[in-house]
Amino acid sequence: MGRGRVELKRIENKINRQVTFSKRRSGLLKKAREISVLCDAEVALILFSTKGKLFHYSSDTCMERILERYERYSYAERQLAANDQQPKICEENWALEHAKLKARIEVLQRNQRHFMGEDLDGLTLKELQHLEHQLDSALKHIRSRKDKALQEQNNILAKKIKEREKAMVNEGGAQLEQQNHNMDDSSLLLPQTSLQSFNIIGSVSLF
């Protein structure tokens, strides 16, 4: 005889419930991988245990892309349904926008925790490699911006130094020209002793 239909309800025994969860979770993840490989389907599976532990599978290296695609499709479907209920369209649009923003915030918060090295236990090898690639790209971008800023500061300082050197050269040239001019004027004047000698010689000649 075949086994009778089992009524689906919450398993009261905590140990049995945990064992069943572990078995069904493994089977669910296996089925998700199989359908993604066999049927070339995009699959995203998210599962939280009663203790809040995350288990997930994604056929894409980045689950966010699948989630964003799901959000677009579900939003379009709900938008069509909202058009059939014109009096509530504004309220539904706000609710949909709120749901989209809330989902986006959760994705960003999860990514932030990953970037901080937190909640990495549930990530696959491909997801860890993708995370490492993102961190490397971000560091290269930061270094590039920092080097560019330093180069701009160096250019400004070099320009100021050249302007200062040019001003000093112009100032020195002006001083040298003034000194030469003073020397030319002084050469036209006879020394005081020469004038006295000239007067004495003139006086003797008169006698």
pLDDT band at 207 (very low <50, low <70, confident <90, very high): very low
45 with 17: CB under 8 angstroms?
no
Q: What is the mean pLDDT of residues 63-88?
A: 73
| Mean pLDDT in residue range 188-205 | 47
Average pLDDT (73-98) is 68
Structure confidence by residue, pLDDT tens digits, 41-72: 889 888 888 888 888 888 887 888 888 888 88
pLDDT at 41: 87
Residue among 71, 20, 78, 79 at smallest CA distance from 44 = 71
96 pLDDT higher than 90: no
Quickly state the pLDDT bin for 31 (edges 50, 70, 90).
very high
Pair 69, 43: CB distance under 8 Å: no
pLDDT of amino acid 190: 44
Note the pLDDT of residue 49. 86
Q: Check residue 94 and give its pLDDT.
A: 76
185 has a pLDDT exceeding 60: no
Greater confidence, 120 or 85?
Answer: 120
The per-residue DSSP string of the chain comes to -PPPPPPP----SHHHHHHHHHHHHHHHHHHHHHHHHHS----EEEEE-TT--EEEEESSS-HHHHHHHHHHHHHHHHHHHHHTSGGGHHHHHHHHHHHHHHHHHHHHHHHHHHHTT-S-TT--HHHHHHHHHHHHHHHHHHHHHHHHHHHHHHHHHHHHHHHHHHHHHHHHHHHHHHHHHHHHHHHTSPPHHHHHHHHHHHHHHH-
Identify which has the larger pLDDT, 149 or 182: 149
pLDDT at 81: 66
Average per-residue pLDDT for the chain: 77
| CA distances in angstroms from 155 to 148, 159, 198, listed in the order given | 11, 6, 66
Please list the residues that pair with 58 across neighbouring strands: 44
Q: Residue 2 above 60 pLDDT?
A: no
Output the pLDDT for position 202: 47
* The pLDDT of residue 27: 92
Q: Residues 172-188: what's their mean pLDDT?
A: 61
Mean pLDDT of 160-186: 72
Cα-trace Rg, the chain: 44
